[in-house]
A = this chain, B = another copy of it.
Amino acid sequence: MPDQRSRFDDLLRRLGEITDLRRISGLLSWDHETKMPPLGAPARAEQSATLARLTHELGTSAELGALLDELRDLEESSDHDSFEASVIRVARRDYEKERRIPGELRAEMSRAASLGYRAWLEARAAGDFEILRPNLDRRIALVHEYVACHEPFDDPYDVLLDDHEPGMRTADVAAVFARLKDELVPLVAGIGEPVDASCLYGDFPAEHLRQFSLAVLTCWGMDDRAWRLDDTVHPFAVGLSGSDIRITSHFDGESLIGLLSCLHEFGHGLYEHQIDERYSRTPLHDGASSGFHESQSRLWENIVGRGLSTWRFFYPRLQVAFPQQLEDVPLDVFHRALNRVAPGVSRMDADEVTYPLHIVLRFELERAMLAGDVTPADLPEAFAAKLREYLGVEPAGVVDGVLQDVHWSDSNFGYFPTYALGNVISVQLWERLIRDVPDLEQEFELGNFAPLREWLREHVHRWGRALTPPELLERAVGGPLDAEPYLAYLRSKVAALESS
């Protein structure tokens, strides 16, 4: 089929350009959040909007649509997992979704995100939610416009969720979250006196902690020929190609928390880094879903990064790096501190057990905002009320409350739930992993994380977006999404703390 071949090459050329623009857009965001001087924001908002409009134009061109039609034969005659079938399938899905959105709306959403981020920084600095509020009003108006492009739907939130967790329905998420809430609200309420975690706080100079974090990440597989670590307010990771991975953290100088966010972002970065190189410059070169992406960050941050075998290897090194703070703190005290369970106001600093409740409350608020039951003006109090109800805690002010997360200011709704889905998936993967690689944790004790990295590459990362999230999960663990292993893991975590 020589004709099909040259059409497929034409498709790859077009997809290559679209992918390039998406990567460039990633660079703009990375720069915005790590390097850009603040007065650069208005021009940057225009630049982002122009890029979004052009990306949209390329991604919705009639020529691309015609090519995808003409390539149906090639897709159908190729194996489902083949490069050709996967590229055509995923490109068609993207094309059909993107065709629904007017280019001007894409540009406007991008401009609003850019300005919203800046307003969020200012609102936080001033401790004044009102600085952000008009941006949120604008964003919600845009969300409504965006959702309206997708009629008909069962639930308007389905539209937003689908951008992050393709194919998943709001009702599915609500069912999983109901299960989590039923189990975790009483579990959290019944937790006794939290363990002492004071060893994690104190004088941890930012530059020293960065060096130590880099040492851990290097041992895990980060390589500065292809990765960087920078400072930001709200940590994130972005892959500008499989060999240009940017992770960010925030070292506050007063705690070890910045280290944990490095471990989290490493998980995201490694995913991008280990996608099949052949997928570069195609829409396959990305995570299967946000939930899968979060499963990787949560796995490295929580299951590995708070694990005893990991710290058997790293803790003596941490003590050498911070002798004054840790010399007299035994490993088990440090390890228990790292796994402390105690309700708090902050999602980012939350322990593993209370974390999902932070997500549930955000999911509920997003749905309420979408339904018009909560307006941005109501948000600070609605946010505080949910914290009281689910976690029994009260934020000191808006900075610790509704302004703690960047997401509502700079991105669409629908992302938050994927954090908790990521937790669920991470434990399903972990259970499979320790069956497949029984001596995994012994290797951690020796500082060898390659077997974990390789398992993840083989069973998750390399696939990129070639498989749907349910397909990928089925192949990796042999079953569908299931919250029970995760709940069992959390229960045993609480029990371990109580018995020790």
Proximity string of chain A (171-188) to chain B, C-beta cutoff 8 Å, 1 when within and 0 when not: 000000000000000000
Chain B residues in 8 Å Cβ range of A226? 37-40
| Contact residues, A41-93 vs B (CB, 8 A) | 42-44, 46-47, 49-51, 53-54
Q: Which of A28, A227, A243 has the most CB of B within 10 A?
A: A243
Asked if B44 and A244 make an inter-chain contact with CB atoms under 8 angstroms apart, the answer reads yes
Asked if A228 and B47 make an inter-chain contact with CB atoms under 8 angstroms apart, the answer reads no
Chain B residues in 8 Å Cβ range of A225? 37-39
Chain B residues in 8 Å Cβ range of A35? 35, 228
Tell me the minimal C-beta distance from A272 to chain B in angstroms: 12
Asked if B228 and A43 make an inter-chain contact with CB atoms under 8 angstroms apart, the answer reads no
Tell me the minimal C-beta distance from A228 to chain B in angstroms: 6
**Residue in chain B with minimal CB distance to A53:** B17
Chain B residues in 8 Å Cβ range of A51? 20-21, 24
Asked if A224 and B37 make an inter-chain contact with CB atoms under 8 angstroms apart, the answer reads yes
**Residue in chain B with minimal CB distance to A230:** B35
In the assembled complex, the Cα of A182 lies from the Cα of B198 at a distance in Å of: 75
A143 within 8 A of B: no
In the assembled complex, the Cα of A46 lies from the Cα of B225 at a distance in Å of: 18
Chain B residues in 8 Å Cβ range of A245? 37
Tell me the minimal C-beta distance from A279 to chain B in angstroms: 12
A281 within 8 A of B: yes
Which of B37, B44, B241, B244 sits near A228, CB closer than 8 Å? B37
Asked if A241 and B43 make an inter-chain contact with CB atoms under 8 angstroms apart, the answer reads yes
| Contact residues, A1-57 vs B (CB, 8 A) | 16-17, 20-21, 23-24, 27-28, 31, 35-40, 42-44, 46-47, 49-51, 53-54
Q: How many copies does the complex hold?
A: 2
In the assembled complex, the Cα of A228 lies from the Cα of B243 at a distance in Å of: 26
Chain B residues in 8 Å Cβ range of A28? 24, 27
Q: Which of A39, A40, A245 has the most CB of B within 10 A?
A: A40
A468 within 8 A of B: no
Q: Which of A16, A37, A228, A242 has the most CB of B within 10 A?
A: A37
In the assembled complex, the Cα of A7 lies from the Cα of B20 at a distance in Å of: 32
**Residue in chain B with minimal CB distance to A226:** B39
Which of B36, B50, B228 sits near A17, CB closer than 8 Å? B50
A240 within 8 A of B: yes
Which of B17, B27, B40, B281 sits near A244, CB closer than 8 Å? B40
Asked if B31 and A47 make an inter-chain contact with CB atoms under 8 angstroms apart, the answer reads no
Chain B residues in 8 Å Cβ range of A44? 240-241, 244
Chain B residues in 8 Å Cβ range of A228? 35, 37
Asked if A50 and B20 make an inter-chain contact with CB atoms under 8 angstroms apart, the answer reads yes
A280 within 8 A of B: yes
In the assembled complex, the Cα of A357 lies from the Cα of B23 at a distance in Å of: 43
Chain B residues in 8 Å Cβ range of A39? 225-226, 243-244
Proximity string of chain A (450-464) to chain B, C-beta cutoff 8 Å, 1 when within and 0 when not: 000000000000000
**Residue in chain B with minimal CB distance to A23:** B47
Which of B40, B43, B47, B240 sits near A43, CB closer than 8 Å? B240
Asked if A50 and B37 make an inter-chain contact with CB atoms under 8 angstroms apart, the answer reads no
Evaluate whether A24 and B47 lie within 8 angstroms (CB atoms) in the complex, with A31-B31, A54-B54 already known. yes
Proximity string of chain A (227-270) to chain B, C-beta cutoff 8 Å, 1 when within and 0 when not: 11000000000001111110000000000000000000000000
In the assembled complex, the Cα of A96 lies from the Cα of B272 at a distance in Å of: 43
**Residue in chain B with minimal CB distance to A244:** B40
**Residue in chain B with minimal CB distance to A36:** B244
| Contact residues, A449-493 vs B (CB, 8 A) | none
Q: Which of A35, A53, A245 has the most CB of B within 10 A?
A: A35
In the assembled complex, the Cα of A24 lies from the Cα of B17 at a distance in Å of: 15
**Residue in chain B with minimal CB distance to A34:** B35
* 16 extra interface residue pairs, beta carbon distance < 8 Å, beyond A16-B50, A37-B244, A43-B280: A16-B46, A20-B50, A21-B51, A23-B47, A24-B28, A24-B50, A31-B31, A35-B228, A37-B225, A38-B226, A39-B225, A40-B226, A40-B243, A40-B244, A44-B244, A46-B281
Query: Can you list 14 A-B pairs with a CB-CB distance of less than 8 A?
Result: A16-B46, A16-B50, A23-B43, A24-B28, A24-B50, A24-B51, A27-B28, A37-B226, A37-B243, A40-B241, A40-B244, A43-B243, A44-B240, A54-B54
